[in-house]
Structure 1
């Protein structure tokens, strides 16, 4: 397992976070193999892999969701493929294993008005406010992952209009930065970062914690959660919420899906196309609400055969009574 982790880290160039996730997945797999009293990897069969998948979904301590099972099984399949390539085993027993079917999970985005409220919740002249404003504005302006933003260095802010992001597999991309985000970053660099930098060791990091060190992903999550609470936003708001909102709002504004793919750093356009489902749902809801012929018509009441209307009776005029001579 250590050899496999070195392989994915060095030869495949996967990120530190991805390698850590692989290590956790293999640790769970290793414990299960030990509980099955298998003495070597050559003893593992396809039946064991199927039983392992069932175990993940039904274990008493914390059964996993189909998405988590699919991710762990992907790690296990890659591991057994590596064992075959290295000659450790003679067959790839995990090759035929199928992950559980996943339902279509649409990204959760918030409205433009809610984004505005979230960003306004970081207003202020304190050092932390200046940093938080720049952090949130940049996340929404670029659609970057939180790991990409906290790993930014000052030199990655190339000019007033673009920033260089390093994504999964150390792939770099250049993303434009809007005027609001650029203003917030400039203000932070001039008035906020020097004060934070003086509190800790020298570092090229763009975003710093209150002790002068590079801001962690965990702290970035806490910053966004606190801003969401101040803004009165209900539900779970995370750094990925801003990424989803960035993509959704671009597509709603008419951006091409392949442009959004490049901005998000997706390797496949199929990943980006899930956002088109969000905008299609929004358009359908708006159409149904606004168009007079789109609403579901109420069924007309059942009507029986027309009643037979009798013609009105002819009323004779009253007789004229002559006065009687008396």
Structure 2
């Protein structure tokens, strides 16, 4: 919905106030078109709600009306993120009305802000990870590459962009470490297990030479035409190989990273070490995986404990 469309629909004092606020948002606050559309859509919904309960003027807006509208949004299944944005839009609107003298008090300041929920990442179990990696068809150059890609993503927890940026010399298969260039150009060394090191060695010995061309350069992983493997291709490899296994949830490469972090913590790794392995700038980001582990433990408890349902 555009500012002009909002202006055309102004057929009541509240509608006129909304149209004027739309012009204010577009001209004075410099919001992005996306945010402007979202705010105006939220407020148009509020205006429609007010019309259904017989309110036509901005002076009739009070905290009870606003809370009732937000409660209706919640009952309709709106997400926490949507509720938080709609609360922000209403606060901006009522604050503007108060500053313009159209309402004596600002009811928006009395609204609480819904906390944005953070979805827990989807992870696979350790058994599912083992089944995936143990059943990959590693015949031929592409098969050897795909197995090495999966083993490294899960075995090190690195990002798909980091994986595709690896050069041959970045891996030390003897010491079983990888030198990774992460976000912000920060370099870190991550450990990898024996299966990952073995898969990479097999790829380097019997797979990469078959795909390499004069233009391959030092890239560790190559596409079918010999160029550096692109993250899009790596994502397709993960999806396709998981689909071949069956009974394993479909994951993107980041899902294997989530799974690796969760399994490290489930195995007793300390949070700070996992932070270093993943390359997180903040420990708070890594703490998300402790909630994943707790959810998994609760699930096991619910399924196995005789009094879990009490």
TM-score range, shorter chain: 0.5 to 0.7
Whether 2:189 is the aligned partner of 1:189: answer no
SS at match of 1:212: coil
String of CA shifts for 1:89-128, please: whole Å, max 9, x gaps. Answer: xxxxxxxxxx985212101100112112222342332110
* CA–CA distance in structure 1, aligned partners of residues 289 and 256 of structure 2: 13
Match of 2:276 among 262, 273, 296: 262
Larger radius of gyration: 1
Whether 2:308 is the aligned partner of 1:295: answer yes
Give the Å deviation of 1:51. Answer: 3.6
Whether 2:155 is the aligned partner of 1:141: answer yes
Alpha-carbon distance change, 57 to 273 in structure 1, aligned in 2, over 3 angstroms: farther
Give the Å deviation of 1:281. Answer: 1.5
Whether 2:277 is the aligned partner of 1:244: answer no
Give the Å deviation of 1:44. Answer: 3.3
* CA–CA distance in structure 2, aligned partners of residues 48 and 210 of structure 1: 41
Detail structure 1 runs of 4+ shifted over 6 Å in the superposition. Answer: 46-50, 56-59, 65-68
Match of 1:44 among 4, 28, 32: 28
* CA–CA distance in structure 1, aligned partners of residues 42 and 127 of structure 2: 39
* CA–CA distance in structure 2, aligned partners of residues 67 and 52 of structure 1: 16
Could you tell me which residue of structure 1 aligns to residue 48 of structure 2? none
- List runs of 5+ in structure 2 lacking aligned partners: 7-21, 45-78, 85-112
String of CA shifts for 1:198-223, please: whole Å, max 9, x gaps. Answer: 3x514110000010000011111111
* CA–CA distance in structure 2, aligned partners of residues 169 and 152 of structure 1: 16
Task: Decide which structure has greater helix share.
Answer: 2
* CA–CA distance in structure 1, aligned partners of residues 136 and 28 of structure 2: 54
Alpha-carbon distance change, 48 to 105 in structure 1, aligned in 2, over 3 angstroms: closer
Alpha-carbon distance change, 127 to 159 in structure 1, aligned in 2, over 3 angstroms: closer
Match of 1:223 among 219, 237, 247: 237
Alpha-carbon distance change, 146 to 58 in structure 1, aligned in 2, over 3 angstroms: farther
Is this contact kept in 1: 2:216–2:228, CA < 8 A? no
- Alignment length (residue pairs): 234
* CA–CA distance in structure 1, aligned partners of residues 42 and 180 of structure 2: 37
Is this contact kept in 1: 2:180–2:190, CA < 8 A? yes
SS at match of 1:127: helix
* CA–CA distance in structure 1, aligned partners of residues 37 and 232 of structure 2: 32
Is this contact kept in 1: 2:128–2:248, CA < 8 A? no
SS at match of 1:103: coil
String of CA shifts for 1:152-211, please: whole Å, max 9, x gaps. Answer: 11111135211011111111110001000000000100111111113x514110000010
* CA–CA distance in structure 1, aligned partners of residues 28 and 278 of structure 2: 40
SS at match of 1:163: strand
Give the Å deviation of 1:47. Answer: 7.8
Segment of structure 1 superposing worse, 151-160 or 237-246:
151-160
Whether 2:258 is the aligned partner of 1:274: answer no
Whether 2:142 is the aligned partner of 1:128: answer yes
Match of 2:188 among 157, 163, 173: 173
Could you tell me which residue of structure 2 aligns to residue 54 of structure 1? 39
Taking structure 2 as the reference length, the TM-score comes to 0.65
- CA RMSD, aligned part only? 3.7
SS at match of 1:44: helix
Give the Å deviation of 1:291. Answer: 3.4
* CA–CA distance in structure 1, aligned partners of residues 115 and 282 of structure 2: 20
Is this contact kept in 1: 2:243–2:250, CA < 8 A? no
Is this contact kept in 2: 1:57–1:66, CA < 8 A? no
Is this contact kept in 2: 1:121–1:228, CA < 8 A? no
